[in-house]
Each structure stands twice: as C-alpha cells, then as structure tokens.
Amino acid sequence: MKTKFGILFTLLSVATLVVTACGSDKPKGILGSQRGNNMSLVVYEVTLKDAVYYGETKDNVATYYRVKPSSPDMKLAVVSITIRNDKSTQIAMNVDDKSYRLLDKDGKEFLSIDPFKNRELAPNVPNNEGLYTWVWGPFDIQKEFGVTGWALFEVPKDTKATQFRWDAVETIFVRFEN
C-alpha cells in the first residue's frame, strides 16, 4: 500500500509543479501579470493562512511537513505564480529567499521564507488543506516554457498585498488588479 501511495504522491507532486508550454489563452483568476526583458510573470492568487502543508517523497515513502508563522499575530501569505521564459534559449536560475518579495498597500516589503528550513513534521494533513509545491531551488527553463507553483511569506494578519516583485535573473514587478 505504501508503494502505491508513494507512486501516486510522486505523480501528484510532479503534476502540481507544472513545467509546460503556455498557450495564448489567459487563465481565469489572474491578479496581475508583467513581462520583463526575457521572462514573464503571472500572479494568480494570494491567500493568508495559519499553516501550510507540503510533502516530499523519498524511496516511495511520503513525508508531510507543516510551516507555521513565527508568532500568533502573523500569517503565512501563499502566492500562486507562473514564471515563463519568453525569449532566451534557456534560463538557469536559483530561486531562494532573495528571489521574490511581497509588497503591501503602504509599500512595505516582505521577503520570502524558506519552506524547507521553516518547517516541522506533520503527522497528518487536515482534510480541508491542500498541499503546496514551492517555486524554490534551481531551475532551467527552456524557451516558451514556464514553472508554476507557490511563493511563501510571513506577514502581519491585516496585510493587504498589492504587488509581487520577482528578482531572479531579472526584476519584474506585478501590481495586482483590484
């Protein structure tokens, strides 16, 4: 049973972190998008959470993790993004805690947090919680392909996010449409 679950979990994980050629139709639910010199960035969703969950599979065994804010007056902001290589033959990048930022209505910047460092084992994942796949680590993106996943931030409870700033390879600001 663990082997079947591990294979299923691996397939779902790969399906969640999509590396695809993008068509010309815009997906619904876009908060904002912007093109840089070589890349384009689309932000789909910003959600404030008390905890987020993700899993990793090694040797067909799934391990689940939970990330929580550092204090009760903070929330985790998870941001759904797609970064796409529009012009270069290939773009090599390493996405880390300096690669993107979330800005609020007052212009205050929040740096991303490392979901692999700021985690704890989760003995179970609540039924109403989804699993996240992070845009984090090294990527090689071929021309006309992209990477879709989530960025993670710790923010005050009352934060109203208005912009997302990408700083890996080139700088791209995405202002959210109201």
For the chain, give every domain's residue range: 2-175
Which pLDDT value is given to residue 178? 65
**Which CATH fold would you assign to the domain 2-175?**
Immunoglobulin-like (2.60.40)
Residue 52: strand pairing partners: 67
The residues of the chain scoring below 50 in pLDDT are 1-27
Which pLDDT value is given to residue 62? 87
Calculate Rg over the CA atoms of the chain: 16
Which pLDDT value is given to residue 53? 95
Which pLDDT value is given to residue 80? 96
Instruction: Label residue 26 exposed, middle or buried (CB < 10 Å: 0-12, 13-18, 19+).
Output: exposed
Residue 16 token pair:
């969640």
Helix H or strand E encompassing 10: helix 2-16
Which pLDDT value is given to residue 7? 38
The owner of tokens 């290589």 is 85
Which pLDDT value is given to residue 146? 96
- Model pTM score: 0.81
Residue 167 C-alpha from the chain's centroid = 14
